[in-house]
């Protein structure tokens, strides 16, 4: 059967979609080409905000219009949290929860054998996510240059604004040995950059009595022989909670062989009062200490920060405090999220000041502006320095006639650079001098 995958949301979703696609290909099914109508359409959804839910619904309608005769399967976080809502969307045939998504290959086999087509009413298959013990490993092979390896799933934190524990379940992980095997397979397959992905990766080891520092030490020791010697690769750590990003981890990354000087740390608010309302497990002072330590041992490190704006209880005084704190940090980029009320979260039960929607949007714009300034300053700070770029695919050069292409890549400290397209350089490392505009 011809199958299409549409993935929304985080890199974890993309890794899982890739693993599911691989399982279907191994069963003899094929991927529908662009513009070709599929027999089965699978949509892996996100539900981190109301805006994400809205995008999910838009995508479901779009895929149905493009594939009017296909069986439409919706899975992912939105499907786990609101299966009945999805089942009432016209054209949806199957709704699969987070654990059930890993049985998609069996579902497609059954559809092929019984020649089942579009259903009159959606079939819902979900299970209580907090009871799920299984860990389903995955890594994305869709991008030969960059590979996202799933090292952890779920979260035990239950922050007052967040539904991720309800959508992803409790924290769990595979063994270090299984991750090493996946990493070696990916590197042998041509991957030059591994990105460790999960919901709360600093909590790694809860299922196996291991620790995140053990994992990164084992990954750094990997050696994959080739005819030319040892396969070159680097590793990035995705988002890690500040209370779990220890000095030991930071110090190890600073002297490691393969880990990039690149961190992504959730802050969510620069006000201690709001952090307490949110149920976060650190203060802004701890966050500042982590950032300072990174910069002390890796002055060239790129630091990305997750920021949320407009949560309940974020008064004007708290907001001013938040902005002042962000301005004081030597970070490189802000990933800004606007708060939206989520059902079944503790924040809705609290008697707190509600930030008007227009004010939330204004605060978001303010942080985006700060982010742009900080990123530009980071780029300029490193102008003229030597760096190693991993070149990726081509794109059209907007400054020239059609047919002329550029190629882009990122340095180890996540500075994006470009040069004229050279096919021979794709998926290779090159030492360069950083030039910025």
Spatial distance between the Cα atoms of 98 and 76, rounded to a whole number of angstroms: 5
**Looking at 101-115, 193-207, 301-315, 331-345, which range is the least confident one?**
101-115
Tens digits of residue pLDDT in 138-186: 888 655 578 999 999 999 999 999 999 999 999 999 999 999 999 999 9
Q: What is the CA radius of gyration of the chain?
A: 22
**Predicted local distance difference test score (pLDDT) of residue 11:** 87
**Predicted local distance difference test score (pLDDT) of residue 143:** 54
Spatial distance between the Cα atoms of 341 and 318, rounded to a whole number of angstroms: 19
Spatial distance between the Cα atoms of 322 and 303, rounded to a whole number of angstroms: 18
pLDDT at 218 over 70: yes
pTM of the predicted protein model: 0.92
Mean pLDDT of 285-309: 98
Phi/psi zone of residue 202: left (φ > 0), alpha (ψ -120 to 50 degrees), beta?
A: alpha
Mean pLDDT of 287-296: 98
For residue 259, the 8-state DSSP code is: B
Spatial distance between the Cα atoms of 176 and 18, rounded to a whole number of angstroms: 21
pLDDT at 121 over 70: yes
């Amino acid at each position: 059967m011809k199958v299409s995958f549409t993935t929304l949301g985080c890199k974890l979703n993309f890794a899982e979609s890739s693993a599911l696609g691989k399982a279907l290909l191994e069963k003899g099914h094929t991927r529908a080409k662009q513009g070709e109508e599929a027999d089965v359409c699978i949509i892996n959804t996100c539900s981190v905000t109301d805006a994400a839910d809205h995008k999910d619904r838009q995508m479901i309608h779009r895929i149905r219009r493009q594939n009017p005769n296909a069986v439409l399967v919706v899975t992912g976080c939105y499907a786990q949290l609101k299966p009945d809502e999805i089942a009432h969307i016209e054209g949806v045939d199957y709704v699969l929860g987070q654990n059930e998504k890993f049985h998609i290959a069996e579902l497609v086999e059954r559809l092929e054998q019984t020649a089942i087509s579009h259903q009159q009413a959606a079939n819902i298959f979900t299970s209580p996510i907090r009871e799920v013990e299984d860990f389903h490993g995955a890594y994305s092979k869709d991008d030969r240059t960059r590979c996202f390896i799933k090292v952890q799933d779920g979260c035990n934190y239950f922050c007052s604004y967040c539904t991720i524990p309800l959508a992803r379940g409790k924290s769990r992980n595979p063994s270090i040995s299984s991750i090493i095997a996946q990493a070696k397979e990916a590197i042998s397959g041509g991957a030059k950059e591994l990105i460790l992905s999960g919901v709360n990766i600093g909590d790694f080891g809860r299922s196996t009595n291991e620790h995140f520092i053990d994992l990164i030490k084992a990954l750094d020791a990997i050696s994959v022989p080739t005819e030319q010697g040892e396969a070159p690769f680097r590793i990035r750590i995705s988002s890690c909670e500040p209370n779990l990003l220890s000095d030991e981890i930071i110090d190890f990354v600073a002297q490691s062989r393969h880990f990039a000087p690149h961190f992504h740390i959730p802050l969510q608010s620069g006000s201690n009062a709001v952090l307490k309302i949110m149920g976060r497990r650190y203060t802004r002072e701890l966050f500042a200490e982590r950032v300072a330590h990174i910069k002390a041992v890796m002055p060239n490190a790129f630091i990305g920060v997750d920021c949320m704006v407009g949560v309940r209880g974020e008064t004007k005084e708290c907001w001013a405090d938040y902005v002042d704190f962000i301005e004081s940090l030597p970070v490189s980029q802000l990933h800004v999220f606007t708060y939206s009320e989520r059902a079944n979260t503790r924040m809705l039960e609290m008697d707190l000041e509600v930030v008007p929607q227009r004010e939330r949007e204004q605060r978001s714009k303010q942080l985006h502006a700060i982010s742009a300034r900080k990123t530009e300053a980071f780029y300029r700070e490193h102008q003229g320095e030597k760096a190693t770029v991993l070149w990726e695919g081509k794109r059209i050069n907007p400054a020239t006639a059609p047919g002329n292409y550029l190629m882009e890549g990122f340095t180890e400290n996540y500075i994006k650079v470009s040069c004229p397209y050279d096919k021979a350089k794709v998926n290779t490392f090159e030492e360069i001098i950083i030039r910025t505009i």
